[in-house]
Chains A and B, each alone.
Chain A
Amino acid sequence: MVRTFKILLLILLFTSCKSNKNNENYYLEINNKELIKQIIEYKHFIESLNQANSFVLKIYCLELNDSVNKYVISKESSAFGFLNNSYNFKCKVEDFDVLFIMVSGLVNSPDYGKTNLNFFKVKQSIILEDIKKYFPEDYKYFMKNGNFPPPDMFEPEILHLTFIRDKLVKKAYKRGYFRDVK
């Protein structure tokens, strides 16, 4: 009887660990208050424009040198774009998912639509689960048609943040691309 109870307890522990792995344990924590503040500000900025039905924030991380880091905050409002700009890890800010993309690991693809050339990637099954969560309509479309609907053309300013070590030294809302330097 005790043996059976122990086995059941082990099974219970195992299944609960598996569940955690797929949920909260998957999130990293942001260890910089200024970055958190800027993420919240950008989220409010996107919401104030009232153009995206649903979106997640994505942050491109660019290491300029040993002490200078750049974070470029933008939004993602389509499943197709989400798939094309696959993230490396997730964080939560005020219960809102924020996706981080490590640009140093990106490999530019010469062919359209190829996203499998980077050094690291999140498993495709997890990406699909994310799409189901963030863009349920696009997910339904994909399940029905086998491809994704076109991305939208909502092109808001993106927020460029430059940090020297842990201090924010430059901040700019700009139209354009995350790689822009001027």
Chain B
Amino acid sequence: MLAGAAGGFTGGAIGTALYGGSFSDAMGAGIKGAVFGAFSGAITAGIGVQFGDVGGIVNELGRTGAHGLTQGAFSALRGGNFWQGAAAGLFSSFGGSVSGAFGVTGFFGTVAVSSAMGGVGAAIGGARNTEDILFGMAAGAMVGALNHALHSLLLKKREQAYDKMIELSENGSFHEVACFELHDGNTLILPEQGNDARNANIKYYNLRKDSKGNPIITIKGKTYIVDNVTHVHMGTYDPQSTNPIYFSDEDGDFSNWIGKPIKILMDGHLFSTDSQNYMKPKMIW
């Protein structure tokens, strides 16, 4: 909701100012945009939860349609044109869905593509003034930020997933990235939201243990066994050091929880270790 409010405020205020409005006009439009943006943001995020990660064509068409309807309705509610809003929602969602295929997978890249596509959509829908195009771009940025960029990436090949994680961790700002290595052979790279150089959020898809002690997750009602959780450590591998990959207390706790050595990606390599062997981690990739 906050992201939506911020986007709505910015779009409203800048658009009004560029259109020749006074400061108070710009503030008024900004506040109005913020209120609509907050509600729109909540619903946009809800659509993201409903449709989940980028998946098959049917899933993505459903997501695109839902965003089109939502943004069209909000555009009409704020006194604008339904079709301009709907086109902004459709195009931005489409942009978010296909951006990964063109190598744009980072948070800011996805948001930028969705935002630009939202502006294009609004223009195709008939927007001719700066305010409406900026609202289209703000709606697109929100769709990108609250929907596409906050979801996971499923890859069939482990090595491909490790390469992607390294790329993501160094894309824009340095931050940790984590993945679930599933028992079926697939690898699920987790969203990067909130991650930084010290932290990778792994509490997704209700990671827990089943009655046999296997780590499991649930996605859209289906349960998957998690073989391991791999995460990135920032920095340089130093085999001469007493702790070559900065093994931490938390790594030790997690390897105890999962019942096997933890896997850590660092400096372009994959290591396996635990609190007994952290001084000599095993390089496995």
Contacts and interface: CB of A to CB of B under 8 A. Distances in A.
Contacts of A175: 198, 235, 246, 248
Interface in B204-239: 207-209, 215, 229, 231, 235
Given A51-B199, A155-B199, A182 B242 contact: yes
Point out which of A74, A78, A84, A151 has the most chain B C-beta atoms below 10 A from its C-beta.
A151
B208 A149 contact: yes
Interface string B185-210: 00000000010101111110001110
Contact of A155 (B207, B229, B250, B255): B250
Interface stretch (A32-40, A63-71, A106-114, A122-130): A106-114
A113 B176 contact: no
Nearest to A76: B249
B254 interface: yes
Contacts of A81: 249-250, 253
Interface stretch (B35-43, B125-133, B256-264): B256-264
Interface in A54-84: 74, 76, 78, 80-81, 84
Interface in A120-178: 145, 147-158, 175-178
B250 A154 contact: yes
Contacts of B276: 108, 110
B241 A150 contact: no
A150 B203 contact: yes
A112 B231 contact: no
A108 B276 CA distance: 8
A153 B256 contact: no
A157 B197 CA distance: 11
B278 interface: yes
A84 B241 contact: no
B247 interface: yes
B1 interface: no
A78 B254 CA distance: 11
Nearest to B248: A155
B251 interface: yes
B253 A84 contact: yes
B255 A112 contact: yes
Given A49-B198, A150-B207, A155-B198, A78 B253 contact: yes
B181 interface: no
Contacts of A24: none
A180 interface: yes
Given A152-B202, A153-B254, A112 B274 contact: yes
B109 to A, nearest CB: 24
Contacts of B176: 153
A175 B250 CA distance: 11
Q: Closest 4 A-B residue pairs measured CB to CB?
A: A81-B253, A151-B253, A155-B248, A176-B243
Interface of B: 176, 178, 194, 196, 198-203, 207-209, 215, 229, 231, 235, 241-243, 246-260, 274-276, 278
Interface of A: 49, 51, 74, 76, 78, 80-81, 84-85, 108, 110, 112-113, 145, 147-158, 175-182
23 contacts: A51-B194, A51-B199, A80-B256, A80-B257, A81-B249, A84-B256, A112-B255, A113-B259, A145-B208, A153-B176, A154-B199, A155-B198, A155-B199, A156-B198, A158-B248, A175-B248, A176-B247, A176-B248, A177-B248, A177-B249, A177-B275, A178-B249, A182-B242
